[in-house]
Structure 1
């Protein structure tokens, strides 16, 4: 099983969890979408695929998986970070942004404003958007810098707009 992680100390890394699908695996119940965990890895010698040796679950953020729209928004945030980062490049500010976003989504339903805030902060961290100087869309700046945005962005924003309209009635 190959698992991608966004970590504070290592950046975005990919690990192989050997034996994770076995019934008595030490990873059982510890590998799932959006989990916050402490991990131990052995660095790969010939590639950027590392071996996962230990996982200690810290925060399963159950609120994200309890609602499809929250899950969809969290997935968009992760996709965006994967596009905007290099593997094995430490970026603690990105980790902090993702942790705050997951904390928000764990307790609150997503809004277009929350998505815009995440994109603005990510663009600021990437150095391509200064909200005080530019009135341009931060997602546009990210798309220009990295060549694309996640395909899930348009359907997510459409769904969020419909939800916002329905909740204001």
Structure 2
């Protein structure tokens, strides 16, 4: 669903489809949820009361699901208010192995390492969708991780298209940060399976 705005009782409600890439407990019944959307990029919402048993958000805000969202943009900061979320792709197959969850966590953390908050990232979002959909059906293999890093490096313009085997090092060098620790854990897991 395309990003849109609707006016509802003097409140501007925005809509988008996004992947839930992180969540942190806030107070007893609320969550801060991080999303990845093609039009909005990386952004955060406050899900007030999401952990209450009768909340319409209870059980919906799970990692790596794609959902249609409605939220109210903050007037003064970058933490918006989530009004509604409805699954479009729950990717339940990710929960079938530790390796799948580990690989999904790695690709999400890699994107949060390189993408700016609030900037459109349609190609990166599409790459993430393809990786998560693959992992919902199959265990990770080294070629998946190498290819993901390769395509991400090409999209960012830090490695020439078709140049293989240097993407991970190029990402570290370009962003002056180490790759997420899940990469090493994932390599170890794949070597054992």
Whether the TM-score (by the shorter chain) exceeds 0.5 is yes
d(CA) in 2 for partners of 1:85, 1:3: 17
1:137 paired residue among 136, 150, 166: 166
TM-score normalised by L of structure 2? 0.81
TM-score w.r.t. length of structure 1? 0.91
- The count of aligned residue pairs is 162
Equivalent positions of 1:60-71 (< 5 A) are: 60-71=90-101
- Offset at residue 136 of structure 1 (A): 4.8
Structure 1 CA distance for aligned equivalents of residues 121 and 75 of structure 2 = 22
User: 2:50: which partner in 1?
Assistant: 20
Q: CA deviation at 1:147?
A: 1.6
Summarize deviations over 1:19-43 as a string: whole Å, max 9, x none: 1011111112210010110111111
| Structure 2 unaligned residues grouped into runs of 5+ | 1-30
SS state of the match for residue 59, structure 2? coil
Among 116, 119, 135, which residue is 1:105 paired with?
135
CA distance in 1, matches of 2:133, 2:78: 29
RMSD between superposed Cα atoms in Å: 1.2
Q: Deviations over 1:87-143 (max 9, x none)?
A: 1111100110000001100111100110001101111111111243x4551011111
Tell me what 2:184 maps to.
154
Q: How has the CA–CA distance of structure 1 residues 160 and 4 changed in structure 2, closer, same or farther, with 3 Å as cutoff?
A: same
**Equivalent position of 2:8 in the other structure:** none
Q: Which residue of 1 aligns with 2:36?
A: 6
Gaps of 5+ in 1: 164-169
From the two aligned structures, give the one with the greater strand fraction: 2
Matches of 1:136 and 1:155, distance apart in 2: 19
Mean alpha-carbon deviation: is it higher for 68-77 or for 148-157? Answer: 148-157
Q: Which has the higher contact order (CA 8 A, sep 6+)?
A: 1
CA–CA separation in structure 1 for the residues paired with 2:50 and 2:175? 33
Which digits, 9 at most, give the CA deviation of each residue in 1:39-76, with x for residues without a partner?
A: 11111122111111110111110111121100000000
